[in-house]
Structure formats: structure tokens, C-alpha cells
Structure 1
Amino acid sequence: MALSNNMKGAVLMALSMAGFTCNDALVKAVTPFVNVGQIMFVRGALTTVLVYVIARQMGALRHVRILKDPMILLRIGFEILAAITYLSALGNIPLANASSILQSLPLAVTLGAALVLKEPVGWRRWTAILIGFLGVMIIIRPGPEGFTLASLYVVVSVFAAASRDLATKKIGASTPSLTVTLFTAVGNAIVGALLIVPMGGWQPMSGSTFGLLALASLLVFVGYQSIVMAMRTGEISFIAPFRYTSLLWALGLGIVFFGETPDIWMIFGATVVICSGLYTFYRENKRQLADPVGQESQPGSPV
């Protein structure tokens, strides 16, 4: 049986989360040896080469004039901001904690979809959004005992990523997803190169460090491409909850490879955030069932 566009978007979102979270683990492993700028540059450059070769083979390249589309420029800008803040946090916060805060992203996207895209959001989902962000506060625990600057970086990254996703939704359907991915990777590489010196200068890399970043670049490509296609294939309110699969990856990777033990506050806060997000999904699904007219899935986007 053929999948609906919403289900295709959900599968792509889950694949994207697996790629991004495994990439996060690899990046966290190299943060003691290289700075954030160098990570962004090396990973971005390798991703650029990979995407360029694939896009060229598939005939998905577009002229640089495509950057005149303000939505593409906005997407690249927000993606870069999200990368800088999140990578800065990874070396100083447990992987599961960072991922738990990121679970508020569907709530931030729903909030943005209501404010920017004018998607209907009732009082119940507004309440769920508020409760979800209270869950984030439980995770970061403002105060001298629980709060860290790294936690604040992840919160900034959440809102930057939500803005990125909303901009993605507004990119013209004629623009291939690979083109969007390519320009995003190029932007990350350029900004990363500019940040190397301010962040401490270039550090020699061992073969293992370079290998981990090379693998991370492949996973970033999987994440980039999957999330672009997901946001352009399905409805935001339907596919956003599938981001929660990233927490499962983060918990497992953190325990196995970094010896991290999630505390009760992180687990409780993450549960509040996820339940709030799932409730917003339930309410959106109920709305669609009550109003099937005009809720048909959108056409699939070009590769």
C-alpha cells in the first residue's frame, strides 16, 4: 500500500533524527580536540563535496541566483545559528540532556506555524505549548545548582531550528531539496572557517578525529536531506512529533559511549515536554478528522 505524503514525511523525519543524533555523538567525541569553528568547517566542507557530487549526478544543481529566494537565505542563516549554539553546548552537557531540551522543537515549530504561517491552534494546544516549555525549565533547572550556559545555548538552538523549519516550508516547490542541502552545507563551512581563529585557531587532527568528522558529515547529509524532504512532503503538525525518536538514540549513545546517567530531573522534564508535544499532535489529528476538506497531503517535492 502506498504511503501518504504525511507518512512519508514521518519516515523521513525519523531517519533525519537518527542521522543528526548519531552525528551529535561523533561531534561530542571530538570536541576535546578541535574547536566548534574547525568542526563546522571540516564537516561542512566534506558534506559540501558529498552533496555536490550527488546533486550533479542527479541533475539537481541550480545556479547561485537561487539564493535570491529570501527563504533559502533565512534557512541557511537559522541553520548556521542552530549549529553554532548546539555544537558549543555539546562539549559541556550530557548528550541526553541536550537532546531532551531539543524535544521542545515540535512545540516551537507549532508555535511558529501558528504565528507565522497562520495555522489554526486552539487553546488546548497553546496550553500544551506552555506546559512543554515549563518542562524545558525543569530540565535546565534555572539556578546555581542546575543551570549551565550550555543549556541556554541549546534553548537558542531550538528556536533557531524552528525558524529554519518554517523557512523550509516556504521555499518554492520547484527548488530541489539537494540544492537547499548543498547551500546549507556551504554556508556552514564558510562560517566555520571564519570562526576557527576566534575560537582558538586550527588544531592538528589525528586520523581517527578526521575519520569521525568524515562519518559525521555523511550523517549530516542524511539528516539535512531527510529533514528538508520531510518538511516539504508532510504537514508540519503531523510530522513534528516524530522528532522524539532522537531522544531514544541520545539516551542509548550517551549511556554506551559516554557513560552518562540521566538524572530524575532530566527524565521528568523530558517526559513533560514529550507528552505536551504528543498532545499537540493528538489535537491536530483530531482537527483534521473533523475537517477533512482541504486537509489533503501536499504534492511531494522534487529531489
Structure 2
Amino acid sequence: MTGKSGLHVPLIAAGLMVLAGGSFAAVNVAIQTATMKLGMPSPSVVFWQYLAALACALPWLVRRGLGGLATSRPGLHAMRIVFAVVGVQLWGAGLASVPIWQAIALVMTSPFFVVVGARILLREEVGFARWAATVFGFAGAMVILEPWSDGFQMATLLPLCAAAFWAGASLLTKKLTASEPAETVTVYLLLLLTPVNLGLAVADGFVLPQGLGILAIAAAGFFTVLANYCLTLAYSRVDAAYIQPFDHLKLPLNVLFGWLAFHYAPSGPFWIGALIIVGASLYVMHDERGRTDRLGSSIKGEA
């Protein structure tokens, strides 16, 4: 019985990661509908998105009471919100002008920003192979961006910048789930993001959603809650190195959703760049798992 249960946990975690990817794809379609198709300013869309998400999470908060918000790490929550706010604002602005397939491929450079941040901020040793994978990953992003072409726009850099800030938010999420329930981590994100996003929306010129915009915002809110909860729950059940490859399925899911909703068709260079990014990212994850295993063996040997 224990063996079956032990096998089911990673399978469930992988399923949660895929569900999170599909939910994020639905969020992206809803945001792009509100911004690119209906012309709403991205700061207002992001605010309404997370307000709707908070409304979806309120039943859990009411049921659990204030005890559900008990935390011993308020500083980490606050730091995570800083990274998340900048990330979601850049992402919303990017989706207002960049096709979904291009935006999601660029945001998948996040693991390479983690490598750079670990070296610069945490002073961790980074081997040649990992540096090479990081360089290849960013090279893949350049293939997708095509900064040398006449059609290049500065707005296409926004998803790349969002990836940098989400890399920091992801690291903090993993730290938090080591000591706190996934529900608490998710609700804190929504509670703290909403007032900050409101201030940014007011500064940009507050806009109320109307007609189809209301449906798009409601869908974005619901799938935002579902995606963040599934993602947090997946990270809390197994090692990040195991489930990270399943996160790459969000690329074909976003391509599919973008094609169904807007008839976007990726160009040839996109697939070349995407393969480079995915391959380099998988190598970074494989190397991370190897380093973790070696560290664990070393500690056991010393014991």
C-alpha cells in the first residue's frame, strides 16, 4: 500500500503542474482578450484579474478564518509580493501587444535568470556547463525576439523582463511551501497583490470592465486562483527538479489556446528558439537534480 501511495504522489504532482499550465494558458487568453482585443489598459486588467481571483478565494478564507493566515515568515511573503507585482504588471503589458505563443516562450527563460541570480546575489558556484546552458537559453530567446529584424518592437522584451522577476517569486514560493500550507501561500499572494495593483491602475487611469470585458476578467480571476493553487500544491508535494519538466508543457498549451482563440500561428524561427530554450532549461534542471543528489550523498557519508 505504501509503495502505491508513494508512486501516486509524483503522478498527482505532475498532473497538478499540467493543470496549472492549462489554467495559465486560459488566463493569458482572457488577459489578451481584455487588452489587445477590447483595448483595456493593462494595469486595470491586472487589478481586476487579481480582485476577481481574491473573490474566488474568499470562501476558503471565511471558512478557515484569520487563523488560515497565520505565518511565521511575513518578510518572505512581502518580498515575494514585490517580485510578483513587477512580474504580473510586465506580463500584462506584454500581452497587450505580444502574441501568446511568443510571450510564453520568452517567459520560459526564467530558470536562466535563477542561475544568474544565484551567482550574483547568493554567491553560489556555477559550473561551466550550467553557464553554457544559460547562454544557449538566452540565445534561444534572441532567435524568438529577432532584434535584428525590421519588425522588432521594444514591447517584445516585456515578457523577458517578467521572467526575471518571476524567477525570484518562484524561489520564494518554494521556500514558503517548506513551512506553510499551499492555501496560505496562495491567499497571501492575492491579498497583498490586490491593493498594490489598485494603486498602479489608478495612477494609469482607472477603467471599469464592460460587456465581454467582464466575462474576460471573471475568467482570468478564476483561472488565476486555480493555476496558482495547483502550482503551489505541486511544489509542496515533490522536489522542484522532478516536476519542472512538466511545466514546459505550458508552451504547446499556450500555442494551442492562442490558435483556438485568436488564430495565432507561430513562425519557423519560434520553434527553433523554443526548442533551444526548453532543451537548455531541461539541462539546468537535470544538473540541479544531480547537484542535490551529490549533496545528499555527501551529507550521508559524513553522518
The TM-score with structure 2 as length reference comes to 0.85
Equivalent in the alignment of 1:258: 262
Is the counterpart of residue 48 in structure 1 residue 35 in structure 2?
A: no
Q: Please list, as runs of the form range in 1=range in 2, the aligned pairs for 1:97-116 lying within 5 A after superposition.
A: 97-112=102-117
Equivalent in the alignment of 2:68: 61
Q: 1:126 and 1:96 mapped to 2: Cα distance?
A: 26
Task: Map Cα deviations across residues 235-287 of structure 1 (whole Å, 9 max, x no partner).
Answer: 33332222211111111112221121211121111111011112223334455
Contact 1:136 1:273 in 2 (8 A): yes
Q: 1:2 and 1:295 mapped to 2: Cα distance?
A: 27
Equivalent in the alignment of 2:39: 33
Is the counterpart of residue 241 in structure 1 residue 248 in structure 2?
A: no
Contact 2:91 2:162 in 1 (8 A): yes
Equivalent in the alignment of 2:142: 137
Q: Please say which of residues 9-18 and 221-230 is displaced more in the overlay.
A: 9-18
Contact 1:110 1:237 in 2 (8 A): no
Task: Check 1:215–1:172 CA distance in 2 against 1; reply closer, same or farther (3 A cut).
Answer: closer
Equivalent in the alignment of 1:153: 158
Shift of 1:170: 2.2
Task: Map Cα deviations across residues 43-81 of structure 1 (whole Å, 9 max, x no partner).
Answer: 211211221212432566225xx4862111111111111
Shift of 1:118: 7.4
User: Where do 5+ consecutive residues of structure 1 fail to align?
Assistant: 297-303
Query: In structure 2, what residue type is equivalent to 1:69?
Result: P
Q: 1:8 and 1:111 mapped to 2: Cα distance?
A: 31
Q: Please list, as runs of the form range in 1=range in 2, the aligned pairs for 1:157-176 lying within 5 A after superposition.
A: 157-171=162-176, 173-176=178-181
Shift of 1:23: 0.5
Q: 2:117 and 2:13 mapped to 1: Cα distance?
A: 19
Q: Please list, as runs of the form range in 1=range in 2, the aligned pairs for 1:1-303 lying within 5 A after superposition.
A: 1-3=4-6, 8-31=12-35, 32-58=38-64, 61-63=68-70, 66=71, 69-112=74-117, 122-143=127-148, 145-171=150-176, 173-206=178-211, 208-286=212-290, 293=297
Q: 1:182 and 1:261 mapped to 2: Cα distance?
A: 36
SS of the equivalent of 1:129 reads helix
Task: Check 1:15–1:116 CA distance in 2 against 1; reply closer, same or farther (3 A cut).
Answer: farther
Q: How many aligned positions are there?
A: 293
Q: 1:237 and 1:111 mapped to 2: Cα distance?
A: 18
Query: In structure 2, what residue type is equivalent to 1:82?
Result: G
Shift of 1:291: 6.7
Q: 2:75 and 2:299 mapped to 1: Cα distance?
A: 27
The Cα RMSD (Å) is 2.8
Equivalent in the alignment of 1:301: none
SS of the equivalent of 1:175 reads coil
User: Where do 5+ consecutive residues of structure 2 fail to align?
Assistant: none
Q: Report the identity percentage.
A: 23
Q: Please say which of residues 91-100 and 184-193 is displaced more in the overlay.
A: 184-193
Query: In structure 1, what residue type is equivalent to 2:231?
Result: I
